[in-house]
Structure 1
Amino acid sequence: MRIAIISDIHGNQIALEAVLEDLSKQPNIDQIVIAGDICLNGPCPNEVIQTIKDLHCPIIQGNVDSDVVNQTSKKGPKKQSVIAWTREQIGPQGIDYLASLPFSHLVANPNGTDLLVVHANPRNQDEAIFQTTPDSKLEYLCQDLPPSIGALAFGHYHVAYMRRWQHLLLVDTGSCGLPRDEDVRASYAILSWHDNVWQAEHRRVKYDLKAVIKQLRHCGIPTAEKRIKILTEAKY
Protein backbone atom coordinates (compact mmCIF):
# COMPACT_ATOMS: atom_id res chain seq x y z
CA MET A 1 0.00 0.00 0.00
CA ARG A 2 1.35 3.40 -1.07
CA ILE A 3 -0.48 6.61 -0.22
CA ALA A 4 0.54 10.02 -1.59
CA ILE A 5 -0.33 12.99 0.62
CA ILE A 6 -0.29 16.58 -0.60
CA SER A 7 -0.88 19.41 1.86
CA ASP A 8 -0.86 23.20 2.02
CA ILE A 9 -1.22 24.04 -1.66
CA HIS A 10 -2.28 27.60 -0.82
CA GLY A 11 -3.51 28.57 -4.25
CA ASN A 12 -0.23 27.72 -5.98
CA GLN A 13 -1.49 25.98 -9.11
CA ILE A 14 1.93 25.80 -10.78
CA ALA A 15 3.44 24.00 -7.78
CA LEU A 16 0.46 21.64 -7.65
CA GLU A 17 0.81 20.77 -11.32
CA ALA A 18 4.52 20.04 -10.82
CA VAL A 19 3.77 17.77 -7.86
CA LEU A 20 1.08 15.89 -9.78
CA GLU A 21 3.47 15.45 -12.71
CA ASP A 22 6.12 14.02 -10.38
CA LEU A 23 3.53 11.85 -8.69
CA SER A 24 2.42 10.40 -12.02
CA LYS A 25 5.92 8.92 -12.38
CA GLN A 26 5.89 7.16 -9.01
CA PRO A 27 5.08 3.44 -9.06
CA ASN A 28 2.10 1.74 -7.46
CA ILE A 29 0.34 4.69 -5.85
CA ASP A 30 -2.94 3.39 -4.43
CA GLN A 31 -4.47 6.68 -3.37
CA ILE A 32 -3.89 10.43 -3.19
CA VAL A 33 -5.09 12.40 -0.17
CA ILE A 34 -5.17 16.21 0.01
CA ALA A 35 -4.55 17.38 3.59
CA GLY A 36 -6.05 20.87 3.56
CA ASP A 37 -5.11 24.55 3.21
CA ILE A 38 -6.11 24.51 -0.40
CA CYS A 39 -6.45 28.01 -1.76
CA LEU A 40 -5.72 30.96 0.57
CA ASN A 41 -2.59 33.10 0.01
CA GLY A 42 -1.93 32.10 -3.58
CA PRO A 43 -2.75 33.55 -7.01
CA CYS A 44 -4.91 30.71 -8.35
CA PRO A 45 -7.41 29.61 -5.68
CA ASN A 46 -10.19 28.62 -8.05
CA GLU A 47 -7.89 26.70 -10.39
CA VAL A 48 -6.50 24.71 -7.48
CA ILE A 49 -10.00 23.76 -6.31
CA GLN A 50 -10.94 22.59 -9.79
CA THR A 51 -7.73 20.58 -10.17
CA ILE A 52 -8.08 18.70 -6.90
CA LYS A 53 -11.76 18.04 -7.56
CA ASP A 54 -10.75 16.39 -10.82
CA LEU A 55 -8.49 14.00 -8.90
CA HIS A 56 -11.57 12.35 -7.32
CA CYS A 57 -9.58 11.67 -4.18
CA PRO A 58 -10.18 12.26 -0.44
CA ILE A 59 -9.71 15.92 0.51
CA ILE A 60 -9.85 17.32 4.03
CA GLN A 61 -10.28 20.83 5.38
CA GLY A 62 -7.41 22.93 6.74
CA ASN A 63 -7.50 25.89 9.08
CA VAL A 64 -7.32 28.51 6.34
CA ASP A 65 -10.06 26.74 4.40
CA SER A 66 -12.20 27.23 7.49
CA ASP A 67 -11.08 30.88 7.61
CA VAL A 68 -12.23 31.39 4.03
CA VAL A 69 -15.60 29.79 4.77
CA ASN A 70 -16.23 31.69 8.00
CA GLN A 71 -14.50 34.95 7.03
CA THR A 72 -12.46 34.77 10.20
CA SER A 73 -8.79 35.20 10.96
CA LYS A 74 -6.77 35.88 14.08
CA LYS A 75 -4.18 37.82 12.07
CA GLY A 76 -5.90 41.16 11.49
CA PRO A 77 -7.19 43.27 8.60
CA LYS A 78 -4.51 42.39 6.04
CA LYS A 79 -5.36 38.70 6.32
CA GLN A 80 -9.05 39.58 6.17
CA SER A 81 -8.44 41.35 2.88
CA VAL A 82 -6.78 38.24 1.43
CA ILE A 83 -9.70 36.13 2.65
CA ALA A 84 -12.18 38.51 0.99
CA TRP A 85 -10.20 38.41 -2.29
CA THR A 86 -10.08 34.60 -2.20
CA ARG A 87 -13.82 34.34 -1.55
CA GLU A 88 -14.41 36.58 -4.56
CA GLN A 89 -12.22 34.36 -6.75
CA ILE A 90 -13.82 31.05 -5.79
CA GLY A 91 -17.41 32.28 -5.52
CA PRO A 92 -20.29 30.74 -3.56
CA GLN A 93 -19.74 27.28 -5.06
CA GLY A 94 -16.10 27.25 -3.99
CA ILE A 95 -16.98 28.47 -0.51
CA ASP A 96 -19.64 25.76 -0.14
CA TYR A 97 -17.14 23.19 -1.35
CA LEU A 98 -14.56 24.18 1.27
CA ALA A 99 -17.29 24.10 3.93
CA SER A 100 -18.22 20.54 2.96
CA LEU A 101 -14.75 19.08 3.49
CA PRO A 102 -14.22 16.67 6.41
CA PHE A 103 -11.79 17.08 9.31
CA SER A 104 -9.84 13.88 8.63
CA HIS A 105 -9.51 10.85 6.39
CA LEU A 106 -8.78 7.30 7.50
CA VAL A 107 -6.89 5.00 5.14
CA ALA A 108 -7.82 1.47 6.15
CA ASN A 109 -5.00 -1.02 5.78
CA PRO A 110 -6.16 -4.64 5.34
CA ASN A 111 -2.65 -5.89 6.10
CA GLY A 112 -1.87 -3.97 9.29
CA THR A 113 -2.35 -0.70 11.13
CA ASP A 114 -4.26 2.16 9.54
CA LEU A 115 -3.15 5.63 8.42
CA LEU A 116 -4.97 8.74 9.63
CA VAL A 117 -4.62 11.98 7.66
CA VAL A 118 -5.41 15.28 9.40
CA HIS A 119 -4.45 18.85 8.68
CA ALA A 120 -2.57 19.79 11.87
CA ASN A 121 -3.32 17.21 14.57
CA PRO A 122 -6.12 14.80 15.52
CA ARG A 123 -7.88 17.32 17.80
CA ASN A 124 -7.99 20.62 15.90
CA GLN A 125 -6.82 22.43 12.77
CA ASP A 126 -4.58 24.97 14.47
CA GLU A 127 -1.93 23.41 16.72
CA ALA A 128 1.15 22.26 14.84
CA ILE A 129 3.08 19.11 15.66
CA PHE A 130 6.76 20.02 15.57
CA GLN A 131 9.87 17.86 15.49
CA THR A 132 10.37 18.91 19.11
CA THR A 133 6.80 18.67 20.41
CA PRO A 134 7.17 17.05 23.87
CA ASP A 135 5.61 13.76 24.88
CA SER A 136 3.09 15.45 27.15
CA LYS A 137 1.71 17.53 24.28
CA LEU A 138 1.66 14.58 21.88
CA GLU A 139 -0.18 12.51 24.46
CA TYR A 140 -2.84 15.22 24.66
CA LEU A 141 -3.16 15.65 20.89
CA CYS A 142 -3.20 11.92 20.17
CA GLN A 143 -5.01 10.58 23.23
CA ASP A 144 -8.18 9.67 21.33
CA LEU A 145 -6.44 7.70 18.58
CA PRO A 146 -7.24 3.99 18.66
CA PRO A 147 -4.33 1.53 18.68
CA SER A 148 -5.37 0.43 15.19
CA ILE A 149 -3.77 3.62 13.80
CA GLY A 150 -0.06 3.20 13.12
CA ALA A 151 0.69 6.37 11.16
CA LEU A 152 -0.43 9.98 11.38
CA ALA A 153 0.14 12.28 8.41
CA PHE A 154 -0.44 16.03 8.47
CA GLY A 155 0.73 19.39 7.13
CA HIS A 156 0.05 22.84 8.59
CA TYR A 157 3.63 23.55 9.74
CA HIS A 158 5.02 23.71 6.16
CA VAL A 159 8.17 21.86 7.27
CA ALA A 160 8.79 18.36 5.95
CA TYR A 161 9.91 15.85 8.57
CA MET A 162 9.09 12.50 10.11
CA ARG A 163 9.54 11.06 13.57
CA ARG A 164 8.50 7.93 15.41
CA TRP A 165 6.63 8.39 18.67
CA GLN A 166 5.44 5.41 20.66
CA HIS A 167 3.78 3.13 18.08
CA LEU A 168 3.08 5.96 15.62
CA LEU A 169 4.93 7.21 12.58
CA LEU A 170 4.36 10.98 12.52
CA VAL A 171 4.82 12.58 9.10
CA ASP A 172 4.59 16.25 8.22
CA THR A 173 4.29 16.23 4.45
CA GLY A 174 5.65 19.75 4.13
CA SER A 175 3.90 22.27 1.89
CA CYS A 176 3.19 21.89 -1.80
CA GLY A 177 2.64 25.57 -2.45
CA LEU A 178 4.28 27.54 0.36
CA PRO A 179 7.24 25.71 1.97
CA ARG A 180 8.80 27.19 5.11
CA ASP A 181 11.75 24.82 5.63
CA GLU A 182 14.30 26.85 3.64
CA ASP A 183 13.72 24.78 0.51
CA VAL A 184 11.63 26.55 -2.13
CA ARG A 185 10.76 23.32 -3.93
CA ALA A 186 7.24 21.93 -3.58
CA SER A 187 6.93 19.15 -1.03
CA TYR A 188 4.72 16.09 -0.66
CA ALA A 189 5.02 12.67 0.95
CA ILE A 190 4.42 9.04 0.07
CA LEU A 191 3.59 6.70 2.93
CA SER A 192 4.12 2.99 2.34
CA TRP A 193 3.19 -0.11 4.28
CA HIS A 194 6.28 -2.28 3.97
CA ASP A 195 7.71 -5.08 6.12
CA ASN A 196 4.77 -4.73 8.52
CA VAL A 197 5.50 -1.09 9.31
CA TRP A 198 4.60 2.33 7.91
CA GLN A 199 7.44 4.13 6.17
CA ALA A 200 7.58 7.57 4.56
CA GLU A 201 9.41 9.30 1.74
CA HIS A 202 9.41 13.05 1.20
CA ARG A 203 9.65 14.25 -2.36
CA ARG A 204 10.78 17.75 -3.38
CA VAL A 205 9.81 19.06 -6.79
CA LYS A 206 11.16 22.07 -8.67
CA TYR A 207 8.61 24.33 -10.33
CA ASP A 208 8.56 27.68 -12.12
CA LEU A 209 8.81 30.03 -9.16
CA LYS A 210 9.25 33.09 -11.38
CA ALA A 211 5.94 32.35 -13.07
CA VAL A 212 4.16 32.21 -9.70
CA ILE A 213 5.74 35.52 -8.68
CA LYS A 214 4.43 37.04 -11.92
CA GLN A 215 0.97 35.65 -11.17
CA LEU A 216 1.03 37.12 -7.67
CA ARG A 217 1.93 40.56 -9.01
CA HIS A 218 -0.81 40.55 -11.63
CA CYS A 219 -3.73 38.69 -10.04
CA GLY A 220 -4.85 41.45 -7.68
CA ILE A 221 -4.26 39.59 -4.42
CA PRO A 222 -3.69 41.98 -1.48
CA THR A 223 -0.23 41.99 0.14
CA ALA A 224 1.31 40.39 -2.95
CA GLU A 225 4.86 41.39 -2.04
CA LYS A 226 4.54 39.71 1.35
CA ARG A 227 3.36 36.52 -0.37
CA ILE A 228 6.38 36.72 -2.70
CA LYS A 229 8.79 37.20 0.20
CA ILE A 230 7.49 34.12 2.00
CA LEU A 231 7.50 32.08 -1.21
CA THR A 232 11.08 32.98 -2.16
CA GLU A 233 12.64 32.84 1.32
CA ALA A 234 10.80 29.66 2.36
CA LYS A 235 11.29 30.24 6.05
CA TYR A 236 9.58 31.57 9.17
Structure 2
Amino acid sequence: MRFALFSDIHGNLTALRAVAAAIDRAGPLEAVVVAGDLVQGGPRPRETWEYLIEHGWTLLRGNEDEALGADRIIHGEYPPRFRAAAVAQITWTRKMLGGEVLQRLTGLRESFRVATPAGDLLVVHSSPRGTNDRRGGQHNSAREVVDGYAGTGAAVIAFGHFHSNFVRATAFGLLVNVASVGLPLDGQPIANFTLATATSDGWIIEQRQVPYDRGDELAAAARNEMPPWPASEATS
Protein backbone atom coordinates (compact mmCIF):
# COMPACT_ATOMS: atom_id res chain seq x y z
CA MET A 1 0.00 0.00 0.00
CA ARG A 2 1.47 3.29 -1.15
CA PHE A 3 0.37 6.80 -0.21
CA ALA A 4 1.32 10.26 -1.45
CA LEU A 5 1.37 12.87 1.29
CA PHE A 6 1.91 16.61 1.08
CA SER A 7 0.94 19.78 2.93
CA ASP A 8 1.12 23.56 3.18
CA ILE A 9 0.35 24.58 -0.38
CA HIS A 10 -0.51 28.11 0.74
CA GLY A 11 -2.23 29.00 -2.51
CA ASN A 12 0.81 28.31 -4.69
CA LEU A 13 -0.87 26.76 -7.72
CA THR A 14 2.30 26.39 -9.78
CA ALA A 15 4.01 24.38 -7.04
CA LEU A 16 0.89 22.26 -6.59
CA ARG A 17 0.80 21.43 -10.29
CA ALA A 18 4.45 20.40 -10.16
CA VAL A 19 3.77 18.04 -7.26
CA ALA A 20 0.68 16.61 -8.96
CA ALA A 21 2.71 15.80 -12.07
CA ALA A 22 5.42 14.13 -9.99
CA ILE A 23 2.81 12.07 -8.14
CA ASP A 24 1.32 10.95 -11.45
CA ARG A 25 4.76 9.68 -12.46
CA ALA A 26 5.18 7.83 -9.16
CA GLY A 27 2.76 5.07 -10.14
CA PRO A 28 -0.33 3.53 -8.51
CA LEU A 29 -1.34 4.91 -5.12
CA GLU A 30 -3.80 3.87 -2.45
CA ALA A 31 -4.59 7.50 -1.63
CA VAL A 32 -3.30 11.06 -1.87
CA VAL A 33 -3.66 13.00 1.39
CA VAL A 34 -3.17 16.76 1.64
CA ALA A 35 -2.51 17.81 5.23
CA GLY A 36 -3.88 21.34 5.41
CA ASP A 37 -2.95 25.01 4.96
CA LEU A 38 -4.30 24.78 1.46
CA VAL A 39 -4.99 28.24 0.06
CA GLN A 40 -3.95 31.04 2.42
CA GLY A 41 -0.86 33.02 1.40
CA GLY A 42 -0.74 32.67 -2.37
CA PRO A 43 -2.11 34.67 -5.31
CA ARG A 44 -4.60 32.09 -6.60
CA PRO A 45 -6.47 30.67 -3.62
CA ARG A 46 -9.70 29.83 -5.44
CA GLU A 47 -7.93 28.21 -8.38
CA THR A 48 -5.85 26.17 -5.93
CA TRP A 49 -8.99 25.01 -4.14
CA GLU A 50 -10.69 24.07 -7.41
CA TYR A 51 -7.61 22.13 -8.53
CA LEU A 52 -7.61 20.14 -5.29
CA ILE A 53 -11.31 19.35 -5.55
CA GLU A 54 -11.01 18.29 -9.19
CA HIS A 55 -8.39 15.71 -8.26
CA GLY A 56 -10.54 14.14 -5.55
CA TRP A 57 -7.74 13.89 -3.02
CA THR A 58 -8.32 13.62 0.73
CA LEU A 59 -8.08 17.14 2.15
CA LEU A 60 -7.40 18.01 5.78
CA ARG A 61 -7.80 21.28 7.64
CA GLY A 62 -4.81 23.30 8.87
CA ASN A 63 -4.44 26.27 11.18
CA GLU A 64 -4.42 28.75 8.28
CA ASP A 65 -7.65 27.23 6.97
CA GLU A 66 -9.17 27.81 10.39
CA ALA A 67 -7.97 31.43 10.34
CA LEU A 68 -9.81 31.95 7.06
CA GLY A 69 -13.00 30.63 8.59
CA ALA A 70 -12.66 32.90 11.62
CA ASP A 71 -11.66 35.92 9.49
CA ARG A 72 -8.84 36.67 11.90
CA ILE A 73 -5.60 35.33 13.30
CA ILE A 74 -6.79 32.77 15.82
CA HIS A 75 -3.58 31.16 17.05
CA GLY A 76 -1.39 34.24 17.52
CA GLU A 77 1.47 32.76 15.52
CA TYR A 78 2.49 35.97 13.74
CA PRO A 79 4.93 38.40 15.39
CA PRO A 80 3.29 41.76 16.18
CA ARG A 81 5.02 43.56 13.29
CA PHE A 82 3.47 41.13 10.78
CA ARG A 83 -0.06 40.88 12.12
CA ALA A 84 -1.58 43.75 10.15
CA ALA A 85 -0.23 42.28 6.90
CA ALA A 86 -1.50 38.83 7.84
CA VAL A 87 -4.99 40.15 8.57
CA ALA A 88 -5.02 41.97 5.22
CA GLN A 89 -4.01 38.74 3.49
CA ILE A 90 -6.75 36.77 5.26
CA THR A 91 -9.36 39.37 4.29
CA TRP A 92 -8.26 39.34 0.65
CA THR A 93 -8.19 35.54 0.49
CA ARG A 94 -11.70 35.28 1.93
CA LYS A 95 -12.95 37.65 -0.76
CA MET A 96 -11.27 35.62 -3.49
CA LEU A 97 -12.73 32.34 -2.19
CA GLY A 98 -16.34 33.33 -1.50
CA GLY A 99 -18.71 32.02 1.14
CA GLU A 100 -19.41 28.55 -0.27
CA VAL A 101 -15.74 27.65 -0.61
CA LEU A 102 -14.96 29.04 2.84
CA GLN A 103 -17.67 26.88 4.35
CA ARG A 104 -16.31 23.77 2.67
CA LEU A 105 -12.73 24.64 3.53
CA THR A 106 -13.34 25.17 7.22
CA GLY A 107 -15.51 22.05 7.38
CA LEU A 108 -12.68 19.75 6.32
CA ARG A 109 -11.69 16.93 8.63
CA GLU A 110 -8.65 17.18 10.91
CA SER A 111 -7.17 13.74 10.33
CA PHE A 112 -6.91 10.72 8.06
CA ARG A 113 -6.21 7.23 9.35
CA VAL A 114 -5.85 3.93 7.56
CA ALA A 115 -4.85 0.42 8.64
CA THR A 116 -2.06 -1.27 6.69
CA PRO A 117 0.03 -4.46 7.02
CA ALA A 118 2.79 -2.28 8.51
CA GLY A 119 0.52 -0.65 11.09
CA ASP A 120 -1.76 2.36 10.96
CA LEU A 121 -0.89 5.54 9.09
CA LEU A 122 -2.23 8.71 10.72
CA VAL A 123 -2.07 12.04 8.87
CA VAL A 124 -2.73 15.39 10.57
CA HIS A 125 -1.76 18.99 9.91
CA SER A 126 0.41 19.54 12.97
CA SER A 127 -0.24 16.90 15.63
CA PRO A 128 -3.07 14.73 16.94
CA ARG A 129 -3.57 17.39 19.63
CA GLY A 130 -4.43 20.26 17.27
CA THR A 131 -3.73 22.10 14.04
CA ASN A 132 -1.25 24.54 15.58
CA ASP A 133 0.61 22.25 17.98
CA ARG A 134 4.30 23.16 17.91
CA ARG A 135 5.80 20.13 19.63
CA GLY A 136 6.80 18.17 16.53
CA GLY A 137 9.70 20.16 15.10
CA GLN A 138 13.24 18.90 14.78
CA HIS A 139 14.22 21.26 17.61
CA ASN A 140 11.65 19.90 20.06
CA SER A 141 12.75 17.69 22.94
CA ALA A 142 11.86 14.02 23.26
CA ARG A 143 9.50 14.90 26.13
CA GLU A 144 7.68 17.47 24.02
CA VAL A 145 7.32 15.01 21.17
CA VAL A 146 5.87 12.37 23.49
CA ASP A 147 3.38 14.88 24.86
CA GLY A 148 2.34 15.94 21.38
CA TYR A 149 2.21 12.64 19.51
CA ALA A 150 2.22 9.56 21.75
CA GLY A 151 -0.84 7.47 22.48
CA THR A 152 -2.43 7.22 19.04
CA GLY A 153 -1.40 3.62 18.35
CA ALA A 154 -0.36 4.58 14.81
CA ALA A 155 2.88 3.20 13.39
CA VAL A 156 3.42 6.37 11.35
CA ILE A 157 2.20 9.90 12.05
CA ALA A 158 2.67 12.20 9.06
CA PHE A 159 2.16 15.95 9.27
CA GLY A 160 3.09 19.32 7.76
CA HIS A 161 3.05 22.69 9.57
CA PHE A 162 6.82 22.91 10.13
CA HIS A 163 7.69 23.26 6.41
CA SER A 164 10.83 21.13 6.75
CA ASN A 165 10.94 17.49 5.70
CA PHE A 166 12.36 15.01 8.18
CA VAL A 167 11.76 11.57 9.67
CA ARG A 168 12.04 11.02 13.42
CA ALA A 169 11.98 7.58 15.00
CA THR A 170 10.40 7.34 18.44
CA ALA A 171 9.54 4.54 20.84
CA PHE A 172 5.86 4.81 19.89
CA GLY A 173 6.16 5.20 16.10
CA LEU A 174 7.66 7.05 13.17
CA LEU A 175 7.09 10.80 12.82
CA VAL A 176 7.24 12.08 9.24
CA ASN A 177 7.15 15.76 8.38
CA VAL A 178 6.16 16.15 4.74
CA ALA A 179 7.34 19.80 4.59
CA SER A 180 5.64 22.32 2.30
CA VAL A 181 4.52 22.43 -1.30
CA GLY A 182 4.24 26.19 -1.66
CA LEU A 183 6.19 27.77 1.19
CA PRO A 184 9.57 26.09 1.83
CA LEU A 185 11.60 27.50 4.69
CA ASP A 186 14.56 28.41 2.50
CA GLY A 187 12.39 30.35 0.03
CA GLN A 188 13.60 28.36 -2.96
CA PRO A 189 11.10 27.39 -5.71
CA ILE A 190 11.16 23.71 -4.79
CA ALA A 191 8.01 21.85 -3.74
CA ASN A 192 8.05 18.90 -1.34
CA PHE A 193 6.02 15.73 -1.05
CA THR A 194 6.39 12.30 0.54
CA LEU A 195 5.66 8.77 -0.61
CA ALA A 196 4.91 6.31 2.21
CA THR A 197 4.79 2.61 1.35
CA ALA A 198 3.54 -0.05 3.76
CA THR A 199 5.19 -3.45 3.30
CA SER A 200 5.21 -6.69 5.25
CA ASP A 201 8.59 -5.63 6.64
CA GLY A 202 7.56 -2.13 7.70
CA TRP A 203 7.34 1.33 6.19
CA ILE A 204 9.39 2.84 3.37
CA ILE A 205 9.45 6.65 3.46
CA GLU A 206 10.60 8.58 0.38
CA GLN A 207 10.80 12.36 0.68
CA ARG A 208 10.95 14.01 -2.71
CA GLN A 209 11.35 17.49 -4.14
CA VAL A 210 10.36 19.00 -7.46
CA PRO A 211 11.30 22.45 -8.84
CA TYR A 212 8.79 24.88 -10.27
CA ASP A 213 8.87 28.23 -12.08
CA ARG A 214 7.96 31.04 -9.69
CA GLY A 215 7.29 33.47 -12.56
CA ASP A 216 3.65 32.43 -12.86
CA GLU A 217 3.09 33.13 -9.17
CA LEU A 218 4.69 36.56 -9.38
CA ALA A 219 2.52 37.43 -12.36
CA ALA A 220 -0.63 36.16 -10.64
CA ALA A 221 0.14 38.17 -7.50
CA ALA A 222 0.41 41.37 -9.54
CA ARG A 223 -2.63 40.59 -11.70
CA ASN A 224 -4.86 39.75 -8.73
CA GLU A 225 -3.54 42.62 -6.58
CA MET A 226 -2.64 40.31 -3.75
CA PRO A 227 -1.63 42.32 -0.67
CA PRO A 228 1.95 41.74 0.46
CA TRP A 229 2.51 39.65 3.53
CA PRO A 230 5.55 38.24 5.38
CA ALA A 231 5.73 35.04 3.34
CA SER A 232 5.08 36.51 -0.10
CA GLU A 233 8.64 36.11 -1.33
CA ALA A 234 8.67 32.41 -0.55
CA THR A 235 5.32 31.65 -2.12
CA SER A 236 6.02 33.44 -5.37
Give TM-score, length-normalised by structure 2: 0.91
Where does structure 2 lack aligned partners over 5 or more consecutive residues? none
Considering Cα pairs closer than 8 Å and 6+ residues apart, tell me whether 1 or 2 has the greater RCO: 2
Measured in 1, the distance between the counterparts of 2:188 and 2:89 equals: 25
User: Counterpart of 2:66?
Assistant: 66
User: Counterpart of 2:56?
Assistant: 56
Does the CA-based 8 Å contact 2:191-2:211 persist in structure 1?
Answer: yes
User: Counterpart of 2:210?
Assistant: 205
In the TM superposition, what whole-angstrom CA distance separates every residue of 1:117-145 from its partner, at most 9, and x where no partner exists?
00011101112311232111111112331
User: Counterpart of 1:160?
Assistant: 165
In the TM superposition, what whole-angstrom CA distance separates every residue of 1:197-226 from its partner, at most 9, and x where no partner exists?
1221111111111221222222211116x4
Per the alignment, in what secondary structure is the counterpart of residue 170 of structure 1? Answer: strand
Per the alignment, in what secondary structure is the counterpart of residue 98 of structure 1? Answer: helix
Measured in 1, the distance between the counterparts of 2:11 and 2:187 equals: 20
Per the alignment, in what secondary structure is the counterpart of residue 215 of structure 1? Answer: helix
Supply the AA of the counterpart residue of 2:143: S
Does the CA-based 8 Å contact 1:9-1:175 persist in structure 2?
Answer: yes
Measured in 1, the distance between the counterparts of 2:194 and 2:170 equals: 18
Measured in 2, the distance between the counterparts of 1:215 and 1:131 equals: 34
Report 1:80-229 matches (<5 A): 80-109=87-116, 111-128=117-134, 129-146=136-153, 149-181=154-186, 183-223=188-228, 226-229=230-233
Bigger mean CA offset, 120-129 vs 211-220: 211-220
Measured in 2, the distance between the counterparts of 1:228 and 1:181 equals: 13
Measured in 2, the distance between the counterparts of 1:230 and 1:53 equals: 24
Does the CA-based 8 Å contact 2:164-2:177 persist in structure 1?
Answer: yes
Does the CA-based 8 Å contact 2:125-2:159 persist in structure 1?
Answer: yes
Measured in 2, the distance between the counterparts of 1:44 and 1:228 equals: 12
Measured in 1, the distance between the counterparts of 2:138 and 2:200 equals: 25
Does the CA-based 8 Å contact 1:8-1:35 persist in structure 2?
Answer: yes
2:2 aligned with 1:2:
yes
Measured in 1, the distance between the counterparts of 2:43 and 2:103 equals: 20
Measured in 1, the distance between the counterparts of 2:232 and 2:15 equals: 14
In the TM superposition, what whole-angstrom CA distance separates every residue of 1:31-67 from its partner, at most 9, and x where no partner exists?
1001000000001100111111112221110000000
Supply the AA of the counterpart residue of 2:110: F
Per the alignment, in what secondary structure is the counterpart of residue 58 of structure 2? Answer: coil
Aligned pairs, number: 228
Identity level (%): 29
Considering only aligned residues, what root-mean-square deviation do their CA atoms show, in Å?
A: 1.6
Shift of 1:6: 1.6
Where does structure 1 lack aligned partners over 5 or more consecutive residues? none
Structure 1 residues 143 and 170: alpha-carbon distance in aligned structure 2, compared to 1, 3 A threshold: closer
Supply the AA of the counterpart residue of 1:30: E
Give TM-score, length-normalised by structure 1: 0.91
Does the CA-based 8 Å contact 2:31-2:57 persist in structure 1?
Answer: yes
